[in-house]
Amino acid sequence: MGGSKMKKLLIFMGFFCFLICQAFAGLQPTAQVDNNAGTQGMPPYSGPRARIAVADFEVKAAKATNEIGTGLREMLVTALINSNRFSVVERQVLNAVMQEQELAASGIAQAGGGVQRGKIKTADLVVSAAVTEFEPQASGGKAGIGGGGRVGSGILGGVIGGALNKAHMALDIRIIDTSTSEILASTRVQGQASDIKGAVGLGFIGNWGLGAGLSGYANTPMEKAIRVCIIEAVKYVSQSIPANYYKY
């Protein structure tokens, strides 16, 4: 074989190996926290809790809607409660709570209902989040080899095309002291997953229901990316709150 042909063959083999490595690197969903808060699962916890509130999510990503932001907030609240590290006070239904208190105090309602004024708990911290990235197909399609920008229908095309077709989302998280309005911690958490079937067992990344506006992503890579991102957010919040706030 001539030197020119051998050189072309080596270049092609090197490119082929690179694509295979990139493909298999994308088989597992990944989660990233900018300041390296850690990716290990949290151990069981039964100690004192921090009292927090979760603000409405700000939606900045072009492909996300306010309904999606509401659904993501619902999932984060559920995950925070299930971690057993937080007492979460709800502000979104405060008007309904106050109406019940007014009704009990009016004398119209049945006596002995047990509703009392002056018992609403306040949060020491507020967790705010902005949806900054929301990409059900972050790659925009399958990769191309050769002319036409298309991948063949064989094994190579399936592996490479699937690995590059990733769902991705990111949240910017802030933890704010309600007494001083000081931002105690801030970071970005991310989650992504490829569309390779069975790449991740849902048992690892949470099995609670998808929030409002997210049901269309059930059993898709985006569901996995969402769950990874929510769990990373819970890890970050739990690890970033100073110990003196855990007192309830």
Secondary structure E strands in the chain: 30-33, 50-54, 58-59, 86-88, 125-135, 166-177, 183-194
Q: What is the DSSP letter of 44?
A: P
Q: What is the mean pLDDT of residues 72-100?
A: 82
Q: Which two tokens stand for residue 163?
A: 């690995």
Which segment of 15-19, 139-143, 207-211 scores lowest on mean pLDDT?
Answer: 139-143
Specify whether the CB–CB gap between 121 and 51 falls below 8 A: yes
Q: Given this model, what pLDDT does residue 138 score? A: 63
| pLDDT at residue 35 greater than cutoff 60 | no
Q: Given this model, what pLDDT does residue 210 score? A: 84
Q: Which residue has the tokens 């190579």?
A: 156
Specify whether the CB–CB gap between 222 and 228 falls below 8 A: no
| 172 DSSP β-pair partners | 130, 188
Which residue, among 45, 29, 58, 6, has the nearest Cα to 174 in the 3D structure? 58
Please give the Cα distance from 27 to 198 (Å, whole number). Answer: 9
Please give the Cα distance from 5 to 61 (Å, whole number). Answer: 48
Q: Which residue has the tokens 């092609």?
A: 12
Helix (H, G, I), strand (E, B) or coil at 22: helix
Please give the Cα distance from 116 to 97 (Å, whole number). Answer: 11
Q: Given this model, what pLDDT does residue 99 score? A: 63
Q: Which two tokens stand for residue 101?
A: 């208190």
Model pTM above 0.85: no
Please give the Cα distance from 59 to 227 (Å, whole number). Answer: 18
Please give the Cα distance from 127 to 125 (Å, whole number). Answer: 7
- The amino acid that residue 245 corresponds to is Y
**Which domains, ranges and CATH numbers included, belong to the chain?**
50-91+124-245 (3.40.50.10610)
| pLDDT at residue 121 greater than cutoff 90 | no
| pLDDT at residue 207 greater than cutoff 50 | yes
Please give the Cα distance from 171 to 236 (Å, whole number). Answer: 11
Exposure string of 148-172, with b = 16+ CB inside 10 Å and e = fewer, is eeebeeeeebebbbbbbbbbbbbbb
Q: What is the mean pLDDT of residues 35-42?
A: 44
